[in-house]
């Protein structure tokens, strides 16, 4: 039974980023303990940190799962590794795929491996706007609406890309 809800942020700026994200969504959907519920459009955003790297392509998906948070983290990191993710010292460097667990139910958690809800989410337009697209009524962990968080966040040139992710083909 897949009763736990989670939101996952997806990002890439190397090796055909849109395809990296679409393939990661397929891998999430194919996992026996994960059910892909909804996915946002793709968004283009400027990189965080060093600006001498390509722009990012981002999306957010909503899943249900029977996995516990650290088990889900293991799955996300395995998918990243399958896509050639290299964990370098530069925290904000370019990457083939970045999968961040943003929220897991209403869980608050702080461990060496995982902080929930995601620690920088409220300042990241490339997370908040796609999340709003798929969950506009979401209430955040501080009791505010997602819309209120977006109203306080700079959009920093965020662009929604015209091509929607073909959710039907992923889910089939």
**Which tens digit of pLDDT belongs to each residue from 5-33?**
999 999 999 989 999 999 999 999 999 99
- Does the annotation count 110 as an active-site position? no
Tell me if 28 is assigned to some domain. yes
Active-site residue, selected from the candidate residues 95, 123, 124, 137 = 95
Residue 55: partners with Cβ closer than 8 Å, 6 or more residues away:
13, 44, 45, 46, 47
- Domain contains 171: no
Nearest-5° Cα angle at 5, 58 to 13: 15
CATH number of the domain to which 34 belongs:
3.30.70.560
pLDDT value of position 168: 66
Structure confidence by residue, pLDDT tens digits, 59-88: 999 999 999 999 999 999 999 999 887 766
Integer angstrom CA distances of residue 158 from 1, 50, 58, 90: 37, 17, 10, 23
**Is 169 part of any domain?**
no
In a domain, 97, yes or no: yes
- 102 three-class SS: strand
98 given a catalytic annotation: yes
In-domain check, residue 115: yes
pLDDT at 49: 76
In a domain, 53, yes or no: yes
Asked if 95 is an active-site residue, the reply is yes
Cα gap 149→140, rounded to integer Å: 8
Q: List Cα–Cα distances, 119 to 107, 108, 126, 130, 153, in angstroms.
A: 13, 11, 14, 17, 15
In a domain, 166, yes or no: no
> Is the predicted pLDDT of residue 89 greater than 70, yes or no?
no
Averaged confidence pLDDT in the chain: 91
User: What does the pLDDT read at residue 156?
Assistant: 81
* Catalytic one of 55, 74, 85, 108: 85
In a domain, 76, yes or no: yes
- Please say whether the beta carbons of 61 and 10 come within 8 A: yes
Do the strands 98-104 and 109-110 form a parallel or antiparallel pair, or are they unpaired?
Answer: unpaired
Per the structure, the complete domain to which residue 34 belongs is given by 4-156
Total of domains in the chain: 1
Q: What is the pLDDT of residue 102?
A: 98
- Residue 90's pLDDT is 63
Burial of 51 (0-12, 13-18, 19+ CB in 10 A): exposed
pLDDT of residue 50: 79
**pLDDT value at position 1?**
66
pLDDT surpasses 90 at 157? no
């Amino acid at each position: 039974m897949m009763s736990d809800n989670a939101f996952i942020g997806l990002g890439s700026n190397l090796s055909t980023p849109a395809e990296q994200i679409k393939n990661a969504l397929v891998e999430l959907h194919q996992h026996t303990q994960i059910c892909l519920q909804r996915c946002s459009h793709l968004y283009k955003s400027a990189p965080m940190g060093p600006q001498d790297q390509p722009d990012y392509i981002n999306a957010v998906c909503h899943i249900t799962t029977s996995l516990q948070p650290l088990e889900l983290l293991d799955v996300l990191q395995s998918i990243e590794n399958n896509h050639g993710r290299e964990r370098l010292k530069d925290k904000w460097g370019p990457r083939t795929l970045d999968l961040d667990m943003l929220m897991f139910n209403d869980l608050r958690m702080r461990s060496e491996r995982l902080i929930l809800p995601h620690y920088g989410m409220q300042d990241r337009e490339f997370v908040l706007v796609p999340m709003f697209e798929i969950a506009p009524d979401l209430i955040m962990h501080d009791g505010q609406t997602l819309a209120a968080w977006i109203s306080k966040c700079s959009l920093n040139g965020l662009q929604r890309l015209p091509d929607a992710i073909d959710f039907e083909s992923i889910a089939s």
